[in-house]
Amino acid sequence: MKKSLTLLAFLCTTPLLAQVSSVIKEDPKIFAGKSEVNGIVYADYKEFPTTWQLVTIRFRKDTGEMRLTYANELALKTLMSGSINYPDGAIFAKTNVRTMMDEQYPNSIAPKELSRYQFMVRNKDKYSSTNGWGYGLFDPDGKTFPEEPSKMANACYSCHTAVENRGDVFSRPFSFIEKVKMPNYNPPKELALKYSWIKWNELTPELKKIVPSTMKKIRVLVHQKMMDNTFQGTLDELKPLLIDEAKAHKAPALFLASDKKRFALAVPSKNDKCNDFAAFTVTTTALDLSLIQNSVCKDDSL
Ligand code: HEC
């Protein structure tokens, strides 16, 4: 029951997110529509879904997206051996696929449309500033988004350091054909994503308008690299983690970029009569915050 309530909260907040995103105009258009980014050319790899091996599938609870990770031979060999020493030339590609319910059997989630392609290309010298991986992002037509390429790569890399112990690669060996032994990666020395408490008073003025003052303490995600290198993808990717944190501590959970403007926030939502938490993403102070304020639960019983 709890699960379905959560799902309901997500579904109900989606139109709000869409409205919020449509107001964002901060990305320069000059970077959009190119066929190359960070030295990665989409056309060079476009055959990957048929010529490389599918290594794993993931499902994102936040976006409802299916993600299919493919690896070329070098990347696959390294991944399956449990090593993290990826040689130059190893490449991972990921297709992100939006989903929908099968209207004749709503429990079965079906693929709907491609949303984007992502690449990680190994070249230790060329991409030394992002730990040897070059990062590329393309829309379903193989064209770039309006993000400044090096900023984007830093944002990709910052989040991928969460799995530094796996060579910055999230995907783990899996075979759809045979049983695979999970490698014993060295556990990270400490979790990359740590939270601390702050008081309501310490929030920025914008956040004070959203988070009711009755919520005296807020969980804040502290990850300096990610805070310094935030892009829309960072905020979107962090939402489910923030929701989990908010639920676990019965308190709002916040990620605030170093510019103190862009943030992702999980706050109790009016949906579901305040019985659950929903997340809201905002990327600029210049939008109409009342949209969000109106959907926040003012009930301090949480
Ligand atoms: C906030 C976290 C986050 C950010 C930012 C991020 N990723 Fe990832 N990435 C993930 C996670 C988690 C996975 C595992 C699969 C999934 O859930 O989609 C992943 C998987 C991948 C994979 C498949 C190989 C692997 O590591 O499993 C590629 C390729 C990839 N990401 C590329 C990118 C690119 C390119 C960018 C920037 C445009 C980017 N990522 C930004 C979290 C992130």
**What would be the CATH architecture of the domain defined by 32-166?**
3-Layer(bba) Sandwich (3.50)
Give pLDDT, residue 24.
46
What is the spatial distance between Cα 20 and Cα 36, in angstroms, rounded to a whole number?
29
Q: Using a 6 Å cutoff on CB, does residue 233 contact ligand 1?
A: yes
Mean pLDDT, residues 67-81: 96
Q: Identify the residue with better confidence: 4 or 267.
A: 267
User: Which atom of ligand 1 is least distant from the CA of 60?
Assistant: 17
Give pLDDT, residue 271.
59
Give pLDDT, residue 287.
59
Distance 240 CA to ligand 1 centre (A): 14
What is the spatial distance between Cα 156 and Cα 24, in angstroms, rounded to a whole number?
20
Distance 168 CA to ligand 1 centre (A): 9
Which bin fits 217, alpha (ψ -120 to 50), beta or left (φ > 0)? beta
3-state secondary structure of 70: strand
Distance 172 CA to ligand 1 centre (A): 13
Nearest CA to ligand 1 atom 37: 156
* Weakest mean pLDDT among 241-245, 250-254, 258-262, 277-281: 277-281
Tokens of 247: 């639920």
Ranges of H-type helices in the chain: 2-22, 42-45, 48-51, 73-81, 149-160, 205-210, 224-228, 232-249, 290-293
Domains of the chain, by residue range, sit at 2-27+193-293, 32-166
Residue type present at position 240: P
Q: Using a 6 Å cutoff on CB, does residue 221 contact ligand 1?
A: no
pLDDT over 70 for what percent of the chain?
81
Q: Using a 6 Å cutoff on CB, does residue 155 contact ligand 1?
A: yes
- The band of 16, judged by pLDDT with boundaries at 50, 70 and 90, is very low
What is the spatial distance between Cα 183 and Cα 168, in angstroms, rounded to a whole number?
15
Distance 160 CA to ligand 1 centre (A): 7
| DSSP-assigned beta bridge partners for residue 122 | 133
- The band of 288, judged by pLDDT with boundaries at 50, 70 and 90, is low
What is the spatial distance between Cα 266 and Cα 147, in angstroms, rounded to a whole number?
25
Q: Identify the residue with better confidence: 230 or 272.
A: 230
Q: Using a 6 Å cutoff on CB, does residue 38 contact ligand 1?
A: no
Give pLDDT, residue 171.
95
Find out whether 267 and 210 touch, Cβ atoms under 8 Å.
Answer: yes
Distance 290 CA to ligand 1 centre (A): 32
